[in-house]
Amino acid sequence: MQIKVLGSAAGGGFPQWNCGCANCRLAWNGDSRVKPRTQSSLAISADGISWLLLNASPDLRQQILATPALHPSEAGRSSPIRGVVLTNGDVDHVAGLLVLRESQAFDLFASPFILAELAKNTLFGVLNPDLVKQHKIHVDADFSPVDGLRIKAIAVPGKVPLYAEAANIAIGEESETTIGLEIRSGNARAYYIPGCARLTDGLRQRIAGADLLLFDGTTFTDDEMVAQHLSSKTAWRMGHIAMSGAQGSLAGWAQVPVAAKVFIHINNTNPVLVEGSSARRSVEAAGWQIAEDGMEIDL
Please, are residues 1 and 288 in contact by the beta-carbon 8 Å criterion?
no
Part in contact with a copy of itself (CB under 8 A); list of ranges 64-72, 184-192, 234-242, 251-259:
64-72
- Among 78, 144, 205, 247, the residue binding a copy of itself under the rule CB under 8 A is 78
Residue 215's DSSP bridge partners are: 193, 263
Q: Which residue's CB is nearer to a copy of itself, number 45 or number 249? A: 45
- Among 13, 83, 180, 217, the residue binding a copy of itself under the rule CB under 8 A is 13
Alpha-carbon Rg for the chain, nearest whole angstrom, is 18
Nearest distance in Å: CB 104, a copy of itself: 5
Q: Which residue's CB is nearer to a copy of itself, number 123 or number 208? A: 123
Decide if residue 61 touches a copy of itself (CB under 8 A).
yes
Question: Could you tell me the strand order of the sheet in which 81-85 lies?
Answer: 132-136, 106-110, 81-85, 51-54, 41-45, 2-7, 296-298
- Among 4, 5, 6, 12, the residue binding a copy of itself under the rule CB under 8 A is 12
Decide if residue 130 touches a copy of itself (CB under 8 A).
no
Nearest distance in Å: CB 264, a copy of itself: 19
Closest-CA residue to 19 (of 282, 285, 267, 274): 267
For residue 157, give the H/E element and its range.
strand 150-158
The amino acid at residue 196 is: C
Part in contact with a copy of itself (CB under 8 A); list of ranges 46-54, 77-85, 199-207, 271-279:
77-85
Question: Could you tell me the strand order of the sheet in which 188-193 lies?
Answer: 142-143, 150-158, 173-185, 188-193, 212-216, 261-264, 288-290
Decide if residue 168 touches a copy of itself (CB under 8 A).
no
**Secondary structure of residue 245 in the 3-state scheme:** coil
Q: Which residue's CB is nearer to a copy of itself, number 21 or number 181? A: 21
Q: Which residue's CB is nearer to a copy of itself, number 38 or number 234? A: 38
Decide if residue 251 touches a copy of itself (CB under 8 A).
no
Decide if residue 239 touches a copy of itself (CB under 8 A).
no
Please, are residues 290 and 280 in contact by the beta-carbon 8 Å criterion?
yes
- Among 52, 58, 93, 242, the residue binding a copy of itself under the rule CB under 8 A is 58
**What x/- string results for residues 214 through 233 when contact with a copy of itself is judged by CB under 8 A?**
--------------xxxx--
The amino acid at residue 69 is: A
Residues 80-119 that bind a copy of itself (CB under 8 A): 91, 94-95, 98-104, 117
Q: Which residue's CB is nearer to a copy of itself, number 66 or number 188? A: 66
Specify the long-range contacts of residues 19-24, CB closer than 8 Å, at least 24 apart: 19/230, 19/268, 21/228, 21/230, 21/268, 21/269, 22/228, 23/268, 23/269, 23/270, 23/271, 23/273, 23/274, 24/268
Please, are residues 155 and 139 in contact by the beta-carbon 8 Å criterion?
yes
Q: Under the rule (CB under 8 A), what is the footprint of a copy of itself? A: 11-13, 15-21, 24-25, 28, 36, 38, 58-62, 64-65, 71-79, 91, 94-95, 98-104, 117, 120-126, 162-164, 228-231
